[in-house]
Amino acid sequence: MARHLITSAIPYINGIKHLGNLVGSQLPADLFARYLRGRGHEVLFLCATDEHGTPAELAAKKAGKPVDQYCAEMHAIQAEIAKGFALSFDHFGRSSSPQNHKLTQHFAGRLADAGLIEEVSEKQVYSNADGRFLPDRYIEGTCPNCGYDKARGDQCENCTKQLDPTDLIEPRSAISGSTDLEVRETRHLYLKQSLMRDELNAWIDSKTNWPILTTSIAKKWLNDGDGLQDRGITRDLDWGVPVKRGEEDWPGMEGKVFYVWFDAPIEYIASAQEWVDAGKGDNWERWWRTDKGADDVTYTQFMGKDNVPFHTLSFPATILGSGEPWKLVDYIKSFNYLNYDGGQFSTSQGRGVFMDQALDILPADYWRWWLLSHAPESSDSEFTWENFQASVNKDLADVLGNFVSRVTKFCRSKFGEEVPAGGERGAREAALIEELTTRIRAYERHMEAIEIRKSASELRAIWVAGNEYLQSAAPWATFKEDPDAAAMQIRLALNLIRLYAVLSAPFIPNASAKMLEAMRTGDTDWPEDVPAALELLGPGHAFNVPDVLFAKISDEAREGWQERFSGTRD
pLDDT in tens, 190-238: 999 999 999 999 999 999 999 998 999 999 999 888 889 999 999 888 8
**Are the C-beta atoms of residues 128 and 175 closer than 8 Å to each other?**
no
CA distance 256 to 264: 16
**Are the C-beta atoms of residues 102 and 77 closer than 8 Å to each other?**
no
* Of the candidates 530, 501, 500, 538, the residue with the CA atom closest to the CA atom of residue 517: 501
Per-residue pLDDT at 476: 95
Tell whether the model's pLDDT for residue 34 goes beyond 90: yes
Per-residue pLDDT at 122: 84
Per-residue pLDDT at 268: 98
* pTM score: 0.92
Per-residue pLDDT at 565: 80
Residues 479-536 pLDDT 10s:
999 999 999 999 999 999 999 999 999 999 999 999 999 999 999 999 999 999 999 9
Exposure class string for 376-403: b at 16+ Cβ within 10 A, else e:
bbeeebebebeebbebbbebbbebbbbb
Give the alpha-carbon dihedral of 406, 407, 409, 412, to 10 degrees: 160
Residues 335-353 pLDDT 10s:
999 999 888 776 656 668 9
**Are the C-beta atoms of residues 550 and 400 closer than 8 Å to each other?**
yes
CA distance 261 to 237: 14
**Are the C-beta atoms of residues 549 and 497 closer than 8 Å to each other?**
no
Comparison of pLDDT for 189 and 59, the residue scoring more: 189
Residues 119-132 pLDDT 10s:
999 888 899 998 88
**What pLDDT band is residue 570 in, cutting at 50, 70 and 90?**
very low
Bridge-based pairing of strands 338-340 and 343-344 is antiparallel
Least confident of 214-228, 265-279, 318-332: 214-228
Comparison of pLDDT for 90 and 62, the residue scoring more: 90
- Work out the widest C-alpha separation in the chain, in whole angstroms: 92
Per-residue pLDDT at 336: 93
H-state helical runs in 136-243: 197-205, 212-223
Tell whether the model's pLDDT for residue 327 goes beyond 60: yes
Give me the mean pLDDT over the 60-70 stretch: 94
Q: What is the DSSP string of 497-531?
A: HHHHHHHHTTT-HHHHHHHHHHTT-------SSHH
| Residues in CB range of 415: below 8 A, 6 or more apart | 487, 490
Give the alpha-carbon dihedral of 454, 459, 461, 463, to 10 degrees: -170
Tell whether the model's pLDDT for residue 294 goes beyond 90: yes
Per-residue pLDDT at 349: 61
Say what percent of the chain tops pLDDT 70: 98
What one-letter code names the amino acid at 175?
A: I
CA distance 135 to 290: 36
CA distance 144 to 141: 9
Per-residue pLDDT at 104: 98
Give me the mean pLDDT over the 30-44 stretch: 98
**Are the C-beta atoms of residues 66 and 53 closer than 8 Å to each other?**
no
**Are the C-beta atoms of residues 69 and 339 closer than 8 Å to each other?**
no
Exposure class string for 125-162: b at 16+ Cβ within 10 A, else e:
bbbeebeebbbbbbbbbbbeeeebeebbbbbbbbebee
Residues 440-469 pLDDT 10s:
999 999 999 999 999 999 999 999 999 999
Give me the mean pLDDT over the 24-32 stretch: 97
Give me the mean pLDDT over the 70-97 stretch: 98
Residues 128-156 pLDDT 10s:
998 888 878 789 999 999 999 999 998 89
**What pLDDT band is residue 386 in, cutting at 50, 70 and 90?**
very high
Give me the mean pLDDT over the 549-567 stretch: 90
